[in-house]
Structure 1
């Protein structure tokens, strides 16, 4: 298995372009199953999770034509529904959390679907209740087969209904929206997720002929239609990569410009990094992070220590809390990181402590970071990437640390960040894949 060797302590310089959004890609690619016509998608990230989903679609007999590495045309006019019952599908889909979003389109168009146990990151319990209970309300029924670990879903025809989601799950909302687009009647979803990537899905479906209103809010209304047509779609830049690059620039005291960030879709992400004392210049649709010798964490107006926590959109995304945590280790001041949504996502801090960071892990959800203000730089060590975001956080720590670091299990990083070593080398980083 490959690993990264990083010689840290080098200042980086230059421009970097964020990849297409991973979390949007998994929704958009699943939606091609809703029509027999051609769907062309641009700005597809070249990462393990997305490529695995494209392979799954091809295995289902979806025609895929790649005009270039990041653009492809999909046509699901001859889907092999029987493939869903094969051992090959069960093995491959079980490796990918995003495969759960195939269920909504398959139920809507072919009246059958299979959902595997959640794959992907090992960051805590990731339940499927929101998906399956919502499908039940639309008129599907399910059986759970303990032998293969799959939920088997069937319907004689989905019918629109009112539903209040028990949590504003992004994948859950996306799944229900795709299913309801072809259901008979009107579906109203309250407490829906409203992330920019979900908005992108709804806008794409509307271009295909769907009737979805309330896009951007937590109350969606979907009037079912009989069929959907083809369309063209371009994915947003990945907001998690953008946040990662902001943090990396600050940690390594680098002068970096992040190009074409779609600033209007970043929400409060820039603001949260500014609360850590990181300076930014917004030039058109670019973010310029100037080199800073020191950045100081803000406090609350009453003088209390800053707390940064995750919340459903438009709150702060949980995928960037790991980045914020590592960046805070070299800031001046203290911050409490509160990871509400996943109970195992902070367990990578033991590696940061071993590198010299001053962190108190209060419980599985909270970590207090006492910034060292660069008084004591981090030191390179050998470590293993536990999940995508923690892996990149450790990589950022390694880039700022003195000496050599080795990061193992980098397949986890490759799942979410395309060509990350090559792109960092272009900025002057001393990183190699071994």
Structure 2
């Protein structure tokens, strides 16, 4: 179990460039299974979860060539489908939630797809019903081996387009269904579809491969099935979650930081939400400039009531940044209510912040009230364990703002989502050391 040792309380300064988007990469990588032709993908982040998926693709028979940093060529022209029912796949697939998205393209192309019950963050229940209900509506038969915790869908005669209304606007669920529907016979309409930039990117990529998807960017997708897809070249967007993390880091450490090439048009409410916390940020070309601030004050509502920051499907505020926002608010001037609607265990890391001196009331599994210190009292260094990716980066930001030396164990969770984070933070002045046990 790896460990970070952090000497906090220092201002940082410089430029930092966001990695490729993890959540997009997991969808895009699965899409290479939809064609036997070569697919080139650029800006792939070098992180644990993405590398695990690339390993799974390689074991499945995908030919993989690294062209340069973050740039790979994939060709799925001779797949070993027997791997899907092997013990090795059960082990590898169950350790990565993103592996669920290989089912859609395999079902579309080969009439079958299998997946062990996937893992990932321990942040609460993350059901897969939306995925499999969509496959069933397209004509697939579903089976579940309860003893081996193994899912399967089969459609030996192919899939047929249909109309469906998703029970929730699941991003991975929508992606998986789209990957299946693009080669179904006839037309499929998906209402209440997710419309996050990652999903838009997937649809744009598939269209460049010959798919016929309309309504991209809306919650109503219309897909006219095609017989086959070709190759393409695709570039992954910068990671909006990492961009939000760096905004929070600048505020908490009172640092002057420029975040390079952020793709402003794909950030949605992220800049606006941080501005509501009193954080100054400027648009300079496609960069975000955050000046050093001695204080930032949370804006209340017009009637004077306490600001609530809540997650919602796109274009609402992403749930992946609520942990960051909560942490940032511990040193803001004013109070805020954080409402995490989607996952019932994601706020449980606040006990670590309370140990550091933060004033937080955990109202219930989904809500926490934060009363900011306005830097009148600094957080105290401590020893803690990272429970998941987003809580891990939040605790790291808190440690960088705290006076003294903090220790964070289980940093493999942070490495799942953030590329070479210690090296990149040191480049802007952070005092952080990686200790591999």
Give the TM-score normalised by the residue count of structure 2: 0.99
CA contact (8 A) 2:93 2:118 kept: no
CA contact (8 A) 1:188 1:222 kept: yes
1:124 equivalent in structure 2 = 124
CA drift at 1:143: 1.1
Provide the rounded CA distance (Å) in 2 between the counterparts of 1:145 and 1:370.
Answer: 48
Provide the rounded CA distance (Å) in 1 between the counterparts of 2:209 and 2:185.
Answer: 17
Asked if 1:265 corresponds to 2:266, the answer is: yes
Residues 154-165 of structure 1: matches in 2 within 5 Å? Answer: 154-156=154-156, 157-165=158-166
1:245 equivalent in structure 2 = 246
Provide the rounded CA distance (Å) in 2 between the counterparts of 1:258 and 1:226.
Answer: 43
Residues 343-422 of structure 1: matches in 2 within 5 Å? Answer: 343-422=344-423
Residues 23-422 of structure 1: matches in 2 within 5 Å? Answer: 23-156=23-156, 157-422=158-423
Tell me the alpha carbon deviations over residues 72-128 of structure 1, each in whole angstroms, 9 at most, x when there is no partner: 000000011111000000100000000000000010001111122131100000001
Give the TM-score normalised by the residue count of structure 1: 1.00
Provide the rounded CA distance (Å) in 2 between the counterparts of 1:304 and 1:396.
Answer: 28
CA drift at 1:321: 0.1
CA contact (8 A) 1:160 1:180 kept: yes
CA contact (8 A) 1:118 1:126 kept: no
CA drift at 1:152: 1.4
Provide the rounded CA distance (Å) in 2 between the counterparts of 1:96 and 1:135.
Answer: 21
Tell me the alpha carbon deviations over residues 15-48 of structure 1, each in whole angstroms, 9 at most, x when there is no partner: 0000000000000000000000000000000000
Tell me the alpha carbon deviations over residues 331-379 of structure 1, each in whole angstroms, 9 at most, x when there is no partner: 0000000000000000000000000000000000000000010011001
The list of structure 1 runs, each at least 4 consecutive aligned residues, that deviate by more than 2 angstroms after superposition, is none
CA drift at 1:264: 0.4
SS in 2 for 1:288: strand
Runs of 5+ consecutive residues of structure 1 not aligned to the other structure:
none
Provide the rounded CA distance (Å) in 2 between the counterparts of 1:55 and 1:380.
Answer: 38
SS in 1 for 2:99: helix
Provide the rounded CA distance (Å) in 2 between the counterparts of 1:108 and 1:275.
Answer: 45
CA contact (8 A) 2:258 2:290 kept: yes
Tell me the alpha carbon deviations over residues 45-81 of structure 1, each in whole angstroms, 9 at most, x when there is no partner: 0000000000000000100000113000000000111
SS in 1 for 2:379: coil
Provide the rounded CA distance (Å) in 1 between the counterparts of 2:418 and 2:148.
Answer: 31
CA contact (8 A) 1:257 1:286 kept: yes
